[in-house]
Amino acid sequence: MPLTHHTAKDYAYPIREIVDIANSISPYVSVPIRWENIGDPVSRGHTMPNWMLDVIRDTLPEATGYCPTRGVEHTREFLAGLHNLESGPSIQAKDILFFNGLGDAIASLMSVLSPEIRMIVPEPGYPSYSTLEALRCDKACISYGLDNAHDWQINLDELEKKLKLHPEIRLLLLLQPSNPLGTLMSLSTMQGLAEIAKKYSLIVISDEIYREHVFEPQEFVSWQAVAGNLPSILLKGISKNLPWPGARCGWMEFLNCQFSGELCELQNVLEKKKMLEVCATTLPQLVIPKLFSDLRLKPWFEESNRFYSSRQHQVQIVLQKVLGVQVIKARAAFYTSVLIPSIPACYADKPPFDSQMNAILEKNWINASHDTRFCLWLLVETGICLVPLSTFGGSLQGFRMTVLQRDETKFEKLLLDIQAGLKRILMQKAA
Ligand SMILES: Cc1ncc(COP(=O)(O)O)c(C=O)c1O
């Protein structure tokens, strides 16, 4: 009798799986690994300003105990107040539930949903959702496409067709801004989506973890702005905006429970589940009101966004020079996705390295997608660790890189090395 559930072997999180591969080859490559796979500002040289560190240090003595299961009361009141400054349905402290990072929130949500109902997710999208959704239902994930020809907006007609075909879909995931693309939904797409959500009685889950990282002049439209009376959950957290992903702090905001017994029930079950785990980490919760009301925060966000936006621009300039690639113009977050539509098969079915390296990589190479092989090849040749785009779901081939590297010289070298790698691989096709 196996110890684990039969679907457990399919757990996949490509953003970190590539780390194990990189670590296993690192003793045999002559260059250090450059970690461009993970959205962790700290690992790329971003530091917390001293004023933030001081606030955290001063708060620590009050934060050594458990906190209430739903989260620190005055922090939830504070966050409900921030939420209510924006247009759309208002909430109260009772509508907020804290987790140990949004990863924990996503896993908890997936663990309590009935296997008979389905969540439809964007393609490409953050892989935790698609993997957990497929595992909990033991069926392929149902997804909706983002349209390259229309600035990566949701193809609403295609979405509606999927909803007609699958009446079991009861939840829709929105990634606003998108990870991996760094793109944004327009107000009119969001309004169209709201009409569809109403027509098909969907509960919308809007993951807005990158909401503070939207580049000027682009405006961020929260799902809250178009939700009206629709039952919805906003997902927010501090991992991406406070350079403190290790705090493990994220929360759910439940909208319009008064109009939906189902959403009330879902909130109730999630709260009970949290009780089994006692509570989420106390320290970041106590710090949030202090940091978020500090006048130094807004200019700090603005500076970070100018930095990410100019890095995006550099990527565009250097990589778009390679014939046969499309650098997706990101308007938010800290990633750039690069499409390689006609990527070649890359050295057929056997890795092209020396016998020692081939032995390590063989199992990752065989049956791998073309973009996975490209990423492995670049990793061995240059130490650059990227995430293949196909691992975010869908048919797009290419890679996602971060634009976090603080060191200008290292960033320029990184781009030139990727550019050279792309040229070599695309020449292989021409040869
Ligand atoms: C879209 C999205 N949602 C959720 C998460 C998880 O965030 P956390 O660090 O709070 O677990 C990430 C992390 O990269 C993400 O990109």
pLDDT of residue 296 exceeding 50, the answer is: yes
Q: Is 280 in the pocket of ligand 1 (CB under 6 A)?
A: no
pLDDT band at 431, cuts 50/70/90? very low
What pLDDT score does 12 carry?
Answer: 63
* Mean pLDDT, residues 9-36: 76
pLDDT of residue 393 exceeding 90, the answer is: no
Residue at token pair 């700290």: 42
Q: For the ranges 113-127, 358-372, 392-406, which has the lowest average pLDDT?
A: 358-372
Residue at token pair 């006609």: 342
More reliable by pLDDT, 391 or 205: 205
* Mean pLDDT, residues 277-288: 96
pLDDT of residue 4 exceeding 80, the answer is: no
Q: What share of the chain is helix, strand, coil (3-state, %, to 5)?
A: 50, 15, 35
* Mean pLDDT, residues 225-234: 98
Centroid of ligand 1 to alpha carbon of 103 (angstroms)? 6
Q: Which two tokens stand for residue 42?
A: 């700290």
Question: Nearest Cα to 371, choosing from 398, 351, 338, 393?
Answer: 398
Q: For the ranges 5-9, 352-356, 361-365, 392-396, which has the lowest average pLDDT?
A: 5-9
Question: Nearest Cα to 132, choosing from 152, 103, 153?
Answer: 103
What pLDDT score does 430 carry?
Answer: 46
Q: Is 39 in the pocket of ligand 1 (CB under 6 A)?
A: yes
* Mean pLDDT, residues 356-366: 84
8-46+298-430 matches 50-292 in fold: no
* Mean pLDDT, residues 190-216: 97
Query: 8-46+298-430: which CATH architecture?
Result: Alpha-Beta Complex (3.90)
* Mean pLDDT, residues 306-331: 94
What pLDDT score does 425 carry?
Answer: 81
Pick the CATH number of 50-292 from 1.10.10.60, 1.10.1060.10, 3.40.640.10, 3.40.50.300: 3.40.640.10
Show me where the domains of the chain are located: 8-46+298-430, 50-292
pLDDT of residue 37 exceeding 90, the answer is: no
CB crowding 267-294: b at 16 or more within 10 Å, else e: beebeeebeeeebbbbbbbbbbbebbee
Over residues 80-113, the pLDDT tens digits come to 999 999 999 999 999 999 999 999 999 999 999 9
The rounded distance, in Å, linking the Cα atoms of 409 and 414 is 9
Q: For the ranges 38-52, 147-161, 216-230, 234-248, which has the lowest average pLDDT?
A: 38-52
Which residue's CA is minimally distant from atom 14 of ligand 1? 39
Over residues 336-354, the pLDDT tens digits come to 999 998 877 766 678 888 8
Closest approach atom of ligand 1 to CA 106: 4
Determine the length of the chain: 431
Residue among 13, 40, 102, 404 to mutate when testing ligand 1 (max atoms within 8 A of CB):
102
Q: For the ranges 8-22, 180-194, 216-230, 314-328, which has the lowest average pLDDT?
A: 8-22
What pLDDT score does 91 carry?
Answer: 97
What pLDDT score does 77 carry?
Answer: 98
Question: Nearest Cα to 130, choosing from 175, 161, 166?
Answer: 175
Residue among 123, 126, 146 to mutate when testing ligand 1 (max atoms within 8 A of CB):
126
Closest approach atom of ligand 1 to CA 240: 9
Looking at every residue in the chain, the average pLDDT score rounds to 91
